[in-house]
Structure 1
Amino acid sequence: MEKVQMLLLILFGVVVFVWRLVQKARETMAQESRTRPGNQGPPAPGTSFQELLKQMQAQNAARSADPTATVPAPAARKPRQAKPLAAPTPPVERPAPRRPATPRAPLQTTPEAPNAVQRRVADMLRNPADVRAAFVLSEILQRKF
């Protein structure tokens, strides 16, 4: 008996849940129909494509048959020179050969140490391989994500 009561309670809960979902869907559809009254799309044209095509052809024929109709003359243009189909490819720049690593002297702790650091940084920036390595290391060590 106790199991039957539990099953009825669960069944009642499912029915109430489904009923509330249906009510909410009806409410949403009614609200959308109130806010968007013209939801059917553009009306179909009264004429068919074939009729429109015949009208346009008749208008074009009337324009070409009428000698008084003024057609603007095209502006005088210079003849265009033919462009080659394949654009010339730019020469490939080869990277500079990598210098062998040279042992660096430890930094000095004298008042002239800032100048030594500046010289060392300037020396490192002259070599593209060192700049590339610094960029890769900065991306690895200071990740944005």
Structure 2
Amino acid sequence: MQYDEIDARLLRLVQRDATQSAADLSEQVNLSPSACHRRLQRLMAQGIITGQVALLDPRRVGRPTTVFVEISLSTQADEVLDAFEAAVARIPDVLECHLMTGAYDYLLKVVARDSEDFATIHRRHLARLPGVAKLQSSFALKTVCKTTALPV
């Protein structure tokens, strides 16, 4: 996908605040509102902009605890991987699931109310995932830096 410096500036702006109008964005990138709107539509059509979301404060919605879970599977067979991925995608407390290289197969980012809530998530969902041989959980003590903005 090709984009120019004006597109890159638009992408940086909407990553910080997607609620800005095309008129507001156009002033910041020195374009007319209609040209700015066309560029945004093109970036969406090309799949560079894939959606717009509201980011919530985990503490204010009662999910201040972040836990990273390393999971090793009993086998790498396609049917086990597929069953695991389908099952983990249905757990609402799992924000991210990544297939990894290295010492374990998957890394999950899980949110919970507290350690007791995580214990329940672990018992009811994570320990029952298909093909799991080993789980190791690490509680995040502090978020040092966090962004959803990709460098463009």
Higher strand residue share: 2
TM normalised by structure 1 equals 0.21
Higher helix residue share: 1
Whichever of the two has the greater Rg, that structure is: 1
Higher relative contact order (CA 8 A, sep 6+): 2
